[in-house]
């Protein structure tokens, strides 16, 4: 008797999963739903969402912003083409580049990231709209990784993608992630870029936030001290260019027995402007030494470029 067998295990039928945003150090990333009309950013991309990537201040190549796309064990030699387009605020020394992450499908201890040099000839990096069409002839590809042996290619040396495809070792490996990145350079500040289109081997990657993911912001937590009991202001946080800050929560703590007003506000002035107050509380260890305010999603917002300061 013949019996129909169905796939009940839910294995992925698409080679690529949903994109996610990732950052390191001074990098920032966010999904943009309403880019405005001034730059014409709404004109490109199938979803209408853009991935805003801000590489930030570069100190030793450790800051970046990226779109990570999971890959469902795509055979490395089968990865032939990629296309992406993005808008840059300024002419930069680097463009928005691709990184291909691969491992031994039988031993995940063995893995590499194969990076396109972001300053390689042919990768656009001008102010305004840019695009790149990646194929096997692309040069400036180099790798670093762990437990790599048996390859004819040397870590850190630049090759074409074709040489990775034909390599005795890497030709047997699979791709577990593809990322499009801004940053990872040695110096300077890499300003905003907006990724609009992404296609991997003919598969259109829909750029949009996942369920429950916040649109258009990166949430940060940090701690700073005031300049003792004085009227000198201390900068808590400075927004990136063309960005604004929303305060979600605030915790003030003192270790002094002398009462003092703790003030947090939008401005760089030593005197707190009345219209810019975020929170004020008198604290000392003999009475109240801590004050926590949870604003939540309705927290106060500064103007574009406005700094958050504090003083005692």
Q: Where are the alpha helices (DSSP H) in the chain?
A: 161-166
Tokens of 22: 């990732």
Name the nearest CA neighbour of 198 among 305, 49, 57, 62. Answer: 49
Check residue 234 and give its pLDDT: 85
SS3 41: helix
* pLDDT above 50 for 9: no
Domain for residue 223, yes or no? no
Shared domain for 181 and 245, answered yes or no, is no
HEC-encoded secondary structure of 230-294: CCCCEEEECCCCCCCCECCEEEEECCCCCCEEEEEEECCCCCCCHHHEEEEEEECCCCCCEEEEE
* pLDDT above 50 for 257: yes
8 or 121, which is more confident = 121
Check residue 248 and give its pLDDT: 87
Domain for residue 12, yes or no? no
Split into its structural domains, the chain has a count of 2
Tokens of 260: 């003092």
Strand locations in 105-140 (E): 107-116, 128-134
Per residue in 101-142, pLDDT (tens digit) is 999 999 999 999 999 999 999 999 999 999 999 999 999 999
Domain for residue 298, yes or no? yes
User: Which range of residues forms the domain containing residue 111?
Assistant: 20-204
Domain final residue, candidates 186, 204, 222: 204
Which residue do the tokens 């083409």 mark? 81
Domain for residue 88, yes or no? yes
* pLDDT above 50 for 7: no
Domain for residue 304, yes or no? yes
Q: Which of the four pLDDT bands, split at 50, 70 and 90, describes residue 67?
A: very high
Shared domain for 190 and 115, answered yes or no, is yes
* pLDDT above 80 for 61: no
- Kind of pairing, strands 203-204 and 189-200? antiparallel
Shared domain for 262 and 185, answered yes or no, is no
Four-residue CA torsion sign, 279, 265, 248, 229: negative
Check residue 43 and give its pLDDT: 78
Q: Over the range 87-119, which residues count as b (16 or more CB within 10 Å of their CB) and which as e?
A: bbbeebebbbbbbbbbbbeeeeebbbebbbbbe
Shared domain for 251 and 200, answered yes or no, is no
Mean pLDDT of 79-92: 95
Check residue 8 and give its pLDDT: 46
Per residue in 199-245, pLDDT (tens digit) is 999 999 999 988 766 665 666 676 778 766 566 788 888 886 667 78
Q: Which of the four pLDDT bands, split at 50, 70 and 90, describes residue 298?
A: confident
SS3 191: strand
61: domain CATH number is 2.60.120
Q: Where are the alpha helices (DSSP H) in 52-137?
A: none
Check residue 273 and give its pLDDT: 87
Check residue 6 and give its pLDDT: 46
Shared domain for 183 and 240, answered yes or no, is no
Measure the CA–CA gap between 29 and 39, rounded to whole angstroms.
18
Check residue 42 and give its pLDDT: 74
Check residue 92 and give its pLDDT: 94
For the chain, what is the total number of helices (H) and then of strands (E)?
A: 1, 18
């Amino acid at each position: 008797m013949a019996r129909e067998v169905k796939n009940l295990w839910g294995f992925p039928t698409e080679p690529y999963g949903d994109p996610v945003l990732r950052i390191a150090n001074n990098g920032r990333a966010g999904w943009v739903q309403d880019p405005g009309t001034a730059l014409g950013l709404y004109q490109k991309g199938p979803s209408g969402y853009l991935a805003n990537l801000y590489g930030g201040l570069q100190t030793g190549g450790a800051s970046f912003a990226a779109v990570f796309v999971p890959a469902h064990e795509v055979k490395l030699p089968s990865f032939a083409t990629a296309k992406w387009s993005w808008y840059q605020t300024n002419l930069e020394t680097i463009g928005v580049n691709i990184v291909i992450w691969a491992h031994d499908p039988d031993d995940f201890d063995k893995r590499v990231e194969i990076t396109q040099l972001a300053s390689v000839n042919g990768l656009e990096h001008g102010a305004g709209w840019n695009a790149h069409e990646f194929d096997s002839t692309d040069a400036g590809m180099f790798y670093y990784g762990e437990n790599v042996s048996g390859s004819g290619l040397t870590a850190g040396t630049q090759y074409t993608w074709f040489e990775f495809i034909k390599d005795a070792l890497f030709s047997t490996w699979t791709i577990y992630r593809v990322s499009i990145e801004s940053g990872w350079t040695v110096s300077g500040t890499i300003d905003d870029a907006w990724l609009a289109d992404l296609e991997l081997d003919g598969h259109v990657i829909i750029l949009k936030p996942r369920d429950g993911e916040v649109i258009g912001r990166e949430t940060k937590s940090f701690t700073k001290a005031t300049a003792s009991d004085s009227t000198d202001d201390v900068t808590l946080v400075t927004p990136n260019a063309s960005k604004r800050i929303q305060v979600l929560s605030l915790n003030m703590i003192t270790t002094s027995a002398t009462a003092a007003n703790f003030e947090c506000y939008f401005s760089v002035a030593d005197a707190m402007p009345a219209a810019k107050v975020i929170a004020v509380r008198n604290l000392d260890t003999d009475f109240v030494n801590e004050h926590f305010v949870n604003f939540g999603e309705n927290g106060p917002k500064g103007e574009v470029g406005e700094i958050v300061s504090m003083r005692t």
